[in-house]
């Protein structure tokens, strides 16, 4: 699927997607992260972003310390840089945040293929739902996000899911 095959599709997208493409390529973010199989996830690839949406880059590392050192070396000079080691869903995670151009960037890395990580799985499920449900549904997701709801719970509410939207979308 094109969403997993790089970022070139953004160059022909809506104005926000084109701007994201410009920033990602100007700062060579995907080129630099290529050894870690980067995938752009989140709301911008799906055209359901709102003001302040970030660019979420999902990566796969083999060595946690080496990955953290890599992102610190290559991106530590960017404004607002921080690199955190966390446990997310009982998995060691490296989370780097910074600002590039006019976008907040979040690099999220775990020791498993990006396609198996929840953010990418959500991306693919949400893409399929948006394709099936159309523009009115997309606008309803954006409206809920503008009202303060996170993406997965917004999908869950619109689809009538009970419980945790994060888990429900993966079910």
Q: Which domains does the chain have, with CATH numbers?
A: 2-170 (3.30.460.10)
CB contact set of 127 (below 8 Å; sequence gap of 6+): 1, 3, 45, 46
In which band, very low, low, confident or very high, does the pLDDT at 1 lie, cut at 50, 70 and 90?
low
Q: Is 27 helix (H, G, I), strand (E, B) or coil?
A: coil
Quick: pLDDT tens for 21-39.
999 999 999 999 999 999 9
pLDDT in tens, 131-166: 999 999 999 999 999 999 999 889 989 988 886 655
Residue 170 predicted with pLDDT over 80: no
* Phi (first) and psi of residue 56, to 5 degrees: -100, 115
Q: Average pLDDT, stretch 7-11?
A: 95
Reported pTM: 0.93
């Amino acid at each position: 699927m094109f969403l997993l095959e790089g970022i070139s599709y953004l160059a022909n997208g809506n104005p926000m997607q084109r701007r994201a493409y410009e920033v990602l390529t100007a700062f060579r973010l995907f080129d630099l992260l290529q050894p870690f199989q980067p995938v752009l996830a989140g709301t911008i690839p799906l055209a359901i972003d709102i003001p302040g949406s970030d660019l979420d880059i999902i990566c796969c590392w083999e060595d946690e310390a080496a990955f953290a050192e890599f992102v610190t070396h290559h991106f530590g000079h960017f404004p607002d840089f921080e690199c955190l080691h966390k446990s997310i869903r009982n998995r060691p995670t490296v989370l780097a945040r910074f600002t590039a151009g006019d976008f907040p960037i979040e690099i999220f890395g775990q020791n498993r293929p990006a396609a198996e990580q929840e953010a990418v799985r959500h991306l693919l499920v949400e893409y399929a739902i948006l394709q099936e449900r159309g523009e009115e549904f997309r606008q309803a997701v954006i409206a809920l996000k503008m009202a303060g709801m996170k993406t997965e719970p917004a999908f869950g509410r619109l689809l009538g899911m009970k419980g945790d939207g994060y888990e429900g979308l993966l079910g």
